[in-house]
A = this chain, B = another copy of it.
């Protein structure tokens, strides 16, 4: 392990890897491109699971589980889908010591196997809507991988729904995107830009792909969640028909939507600093660590008693850990919990206790001395303020680094000097999109819902444009 964390300003990419290592979030595995989520990292995923699962269920969804292995021929049923995913598949050719008659692919996503099942389950409008989510692992054979951001295997949830009408399916698509956005705002303290993908960037097989795009501290974009409207494309490929209210056969309208463990990468790159991980209180598996500081040779029972009392007071609202380990210095403990991003540290020292006080230290360095009987109220206030401060900073950073530009050479210069989101006029032509990418590595992250709508000229070809889209370099 590197002794210290590389500063962001020196090497952002190395800083990111150092944080993951020092905060014990993940480790490399012996399988190329596959990582191990260590307990600290997995615990953040459990927060994602708990909070999103609650929201999914509140909006009428239920969880199910479909097979990991998919017959290779299934992928071929939807043309765009197979073109998008077949090259990324891991293929099982042998099972139980024998060669299989038909190879099986490990799911890169589950549209094909799920829609096969839906074709058996849907007969009548009474069977609709189908609102199912799955928490699962998937594999996509990526060439270049980075922990959390792009790994061969990753964990995710994938919702797959069927509806009677286009209108209902379209509302579902946007509802789920909104759930992602509000989860990231309320728990991950991350501001994002919701919008629609261009045809070149949409999900293979979707009619429309919507996304939320976040900005990392290096001002590059990270796609944090997607929601797709499929129309009847998969329904036609898999023959998912129902008898409608008029007694006629028709195809269902479908959606799918998902977020993955890359959210943890986004969380790291949004808030953390050169001292280590920074966790917003509502994204943190543990909000508070209490550190009793006893002096050598002195009786520590009084301090231990107070630490335990504070813990039980705070437990009703927070996950609290008392670090009473012996054999580690106070400084070592402070640093360790700081590196791991615990939002609030409570220091119980003998001098403070003499005046019936203790110190609350927020992860960003803000310290308050409070009376012991005010700890509960002050901790709550401190954590709320910290959560809010992190969101405000994320939101302001996003705004401050979102620019308008009309001139191609200037844009190239600017993005070279200073990454960020650039709102450019674009004519809708994939060729112009590709040229910008080729020249600058920036792609269209989305056509934002809150688009600047105005007449203009495409930054590449000068053809007419009716609004600006967001170009950025991305993870």
| Least distance between A40 CB and chain B CB atoms (Å) | 9
Q: Contact: B67 with A31, CB < 8 Å?
A: yes
> Are B66 and A36 in touch, CB under 8 angstroms?
yes
Residues of B within 8 A of A95 (CB): 89-91, 141, 152
Cβ–Cβ < 8 Å partners of A30 in chain B? 71, 74, 113, 116
Establish whether residues B39 and A143, one from each chain, have CB atoms under 8 Å apart when the complex forms: no
Shortest CB-to-CB span from A65 to chain B, Å, is 4
Q: Determine if B65 and A36 form an interchain contact, defined as CB atoms under 8 angstroms apart.
A: yes
Cβ-based interface call for A88 (8 A): yes
Task: Please tell me if the beta carbons of B104 and A94 are within 8 angstroms of each other in the complex.
Answer: no
Stoichiometry, as copies per complex, reads: 2
- Identify which of residues 113-172 in chain A touch chain B, using a CB-to-CB cut-off of 8 Å: 113, 116-117, 120-121, 126, 132, 136-137, 139, 141, 143, 152-153, 155
Does A190 reach chain B (CB closer than 8 Å)? Answer: no
A63 touches which of B46, B88, B89, B132 (Cβ 8 Å):
B46
Shortest CB distance A160–B (Å): 12
Q: Does A38 contact B (CB under 8 A)?
A: yes
A29 and B92 contact, CB distance less than 8 A: no
Q: Which of B67, B74, B137 contacts A68 (CB 8 A)?
A: B137
Within 8 A of B (CB), among A434-475: none
Q: Which residue of the partner chain, among B39, B64, B87, B106, contacts A97 with CB atoms under 8 Å?
A: B87
Least Cβ distance of A105 to chain B in Å? 9
| Cβ-defined partner of A90 (8 Å) among B34, B69, B87, B132 | B69
Residues of chain B within 8 A of A139, CB atoms compared: 68-69
Interface centre among A39, A43, A89, A97 (most CB of B within 10 A): A39
Question: What does the 1/0 interface line of A36-70 toward B look like (CB < 8 Å)?
Answer: 11110111011000000000000000111111111
In the complex, A37→B155 CA distance in Å? 18
Interface residues in A393-435 (C-beta closer than 8 Å to B):
none
Contact of A93 with B by CB under 8 A: yes
Q: Is the CB of A63 within 8 A of B42?
A: yes
Shortest distance between the CB of A23 and any CB in chain B (Å)? 14
Say yes or no: is A365 at the interface (Cβ < 8 Å to chain B).
Answer: no
The docked-state distance in angstroms from the alpha carbon of A419 to that of B160 is 45
Min CB distance A375 to B, Å, is 25
Residue A96 CB within 8 A of the other chain: yes
| Chain B residues with CB under 8 A of A66 | 29, 36
Contacts A91-B92, A93-B93 known; A42 to B29 CB distance under 8 Å? no
| Residue numbers in B under 8 Å from A78 (CB-CB) | none
What's the nearest-Cβ distance from chain B to residue A344, in Å? 21
Q: Check: A27 CB closer than 8 A to any chain B CB.
A: yes
Q: Which of A77-91 contact B (CB under 8 A)?
A: 87-91
Q: Which residues of B contact A67 (CB under 8 A)?
A: 29, 31, 34-36, 153
With contacts A36-B64, A39-B62, A68-B137 taken as known, whether A27 is within 8 angstroms of B93 at the C-beta atoms is no
Nearest B residue (CB) for A134: B42
| Set B64, B88, B93, B327: member contacting A39, Cβ < 8 A | B64
Instruction: Give which listed residue, B97, B117, B153, contacts A27 with CB less than 8 A.
Output: B117
Q: Of B36, B41, B327, which one neighbours A117 at CB under 8 angstroms?
A: B36
Evaluate contact between B92 and A96: CB separation under 8 angstroms.
no
Cβ–Cβ < 8 Å partners of A31 in chain B = 67, 69-71, 104, 113
CB neighbours (8 Å) of A103 from chain B are 94
Which residues of A258-282 have CB atoms within 8 Å of chain B's CB atoms? none
Contacts of A88 in B (CB 8 A): 96
Among A42, A95, A126, find the residue whose CB has the most chain B CB atoms closer than 10 A. A95
Report which A residues bind B (CB closer than 8 A): 27, 29-31, 34-39, 41-43, 45-46, 62-71, 74, 87-97, 103-104, 106, 113, 116-117, 120-121, 126, 132, 136-137, 139, 141, 143, 152-153, 155, 327
Question: Given A27-B117, A39-B132, 20 other A-B contacts at CB below 8 A?
Answer: A30-B71, A30-B74, A31-B67, A31-B69, A31-B71, A36-B66, A37-B64, A68-B68, A68-B137, A68-B139, A69-B152, A87-B96, A87-B97, A89-B95, A90-B94, A90-B95, A91-B93, A92-B93, A96-B143, A136-B137
